[in-house]
Structure 1
Amino acid sequence: MLKSILPCGLAMLAFGMAAMPAVAATENLIVNGTFDDFTTGWIGNYQIRSNDPVIDTGSYFFPGAGAFHMIYQNYTLTDTDLASLWDTGLSYTLSADLFGWHNQQDRGTLSVFFLDGEGDRITSSTLMSSTLYDGWWDTEITAGGKYYQSVSGLVPTDTMTLQFVISSTRIGGGTNNDGYIDNASFTMAELPAVPLPAGLPLLGSGLVVLAGLRGLRRRRS
């Protein structure tokens, strides 16, 4: 009896899990991640650049002079975000095009820091240009192509604020810091709710019947 019940129940369980609908992601939470508006979104000094190299989406983040450069912006989770985070949970995707100038090894990073209600860091995630390439950049860049990177994960349940940080470090000498970044993006999506699988009641009923049959056999013996 058990052999006939378990395969059926497990098959229905797998069907119920596979049928869970995908949930659409939020819009990009990073303001001016394309650096098409020089004055919007970011805290800190920076420049924009649009040639040498050229990227097909226009201007991009250019640190300028100096050995190290950093800018940032914060996003406070809304009541709707928090309700989803505490109810089903939230996944995230952090992405950007990260590149540099000719044969310079200067590197750029895009990070997200997950902060709790006290502003303390819970965890973080970072993209770095030198993860894929360390200098010798192309002179023409295609957004979402060779230099595109992304990372995904789960938003910690204690998160109240997201802090997005771009930093660039000069490695190869010269006057300028040439860790470039464009099309910075951070999206979140609700985790799909886990419904009661269709096969679970059947599996449970079968186990109850099996237990009853075993009890009857014991009484007869």
Structure 2
Amino acid sequence: MNLVVNGDAESGPGGTAEPVPSVTGWTVGQGAPALVGYAVGGGYPTPSDPGPAQRGSRFFSGGNSPRTALVQDVTLPATGRTGHPAVDAGDVRFTASAWLGGYATQEDGARLSVEFRDAQGTPLALAVLGPVTAAERKSATGLVERKVGAAVPPGARTARLLLVFTRSGSGTSNDGYADAISLTLEPTGGTNAGGRS
């Protein structure tokens, strides 16, 4: 089960290229994000451009701010096969994934970081996805999947997601894009398999 709330930009206000004051499930830490519809046009990603195969109707963008940041704190489950006892034994693995991208040859981009913290809020481990460069997109407008997985650090109780969009050059639009953001946990069957990306 995906622990991220509204990782697909489908909930709350939006659907155009206009910035929104708030984003369901996220705290706007900086800037003015937009939840852009794939059907908006005007150079934004369309349903036929590179992106998630099972995409919804909208994606995140940096809006019109040079730097836009969204934050979400996720509470890890306390019970079950991925609960606290299994985490503390090193028997739970996480997978973080996101589709990240931008516009044509521009280097505007999006970066997702996932920071695991203990009960006191002390950082224990950090995973970072992106940004995706124009070269990695082959200078095409669209989104590319990025994924990382590793053992959840023992003692972790929460994960802080930070989604940052950065405008690299001039202009009024921050064309960093993101969609299909996911954080999942799975038991490792009593063996710590280590990390892979």
Alignment TM-score > 0.5, same fold: yes
Q: Does 1:36 align with 2:10?
A: yes
Unpaired runs of at least 5, structure 1: 1-26, 195-221
Which amino acid letter does the alignment assign opposite residue 119 of structure 1?
G
1:50 aligns with 2:49: no
Match of 1:85, SS state, is helix
**Mapped pair 1:64 → 2:63:** yes
Structure 1 residue 184 corresponds to structure 2 residue 181:
yes
Contact 1:105 1:135 in 2 (8 A): no
Distance 1:97 1:78 in 2: 25
Q: Do the aligned residues in 1 keep the contact of 2:88 with 2:153 (CA within 8 Å)?
A: no
**2:161 is the alignment partner of 1:157:** no
Long gaps (5+) in structure 2: 13-22, 39-43, 48-52, 192-197
TM-score (norm 1): 0.67
**Residue 103 of structure 1, CA deviation:** 2.1
User: Which one has a larger percent helix, Structure 1 or Structure 2?
Assistant: 1
Question: Structure 2 length normalisation: TM-score?
Answer: 0.75
Shift in Å, 1:97: 0.7
C-alpha deviation, 1:136, in angstroms: 5.7
Deviation at 1:193, TM superposition (A): 2.7
- Change beyond 3 A, Cα 1:150–1:132: farther
Matches within 5 A, 1:133-152: 133=135, 137-139=139-141, 141=142, 147-152=144-149
Percent of aligned positions with the same letter in both sequences?
29
What SS is found at the alignment partner of 2:86?
helix
Read off the aligned partner of 2:160 and give its amino acid letter: Q
Corresponding residue for residue 17 of structure 2:
none
Displacement of 1:188: 0.7
Structure 1 residue 178, shift from structure 2 partner: 1.1
Name the residue aligned to 2:194: none
| Rg (Cα) greater in structure | 1
Cα distance in structure 2, aligned partners of 1:70 and 1:124: 17
Aligned to 2:163: 166
Instruction: Output one character per residue of 1:59-107: Cα deviation in whole Å (capped at 9) or x when no partner.
Output: 0001111211100111122321212212452101111110112221101
Q: Per the alignment, do residues 132 and 83 of structure 1 end up closer, same or farther by CA in structure 2, a change over 3 Å counting?
A: farther
Contact persistence 1:42–1:72 (CA under 8 A): yes
Shift of residue 170 of structure 1?
0.8
Q: 1:131 to 1:154 in 2, by over 3 A?
A: farther
Cα separation, partners in 2 of 1:98 and 1:168, compared to 1, 3 Å: same
CA distance change for structure 1 residues 103 and 135 in 2, over 3 Å: closer, same or farther? farther
Please give the alpha-carbon distance, in whole angstroms, between the structure 2 residues aligned to 1:82 and 1:126.
23
RMSD, aligned α-carbons: 2.1
Structure with more contact order per residue of length (Cα contacts < 8 Å, sep ≥ 6): 1
Evaluate the alpha carbon distance shift between residue 161 and residue 193 of structure 1 in structure 2; reply closer, same or farther with a 3 A threshold: same
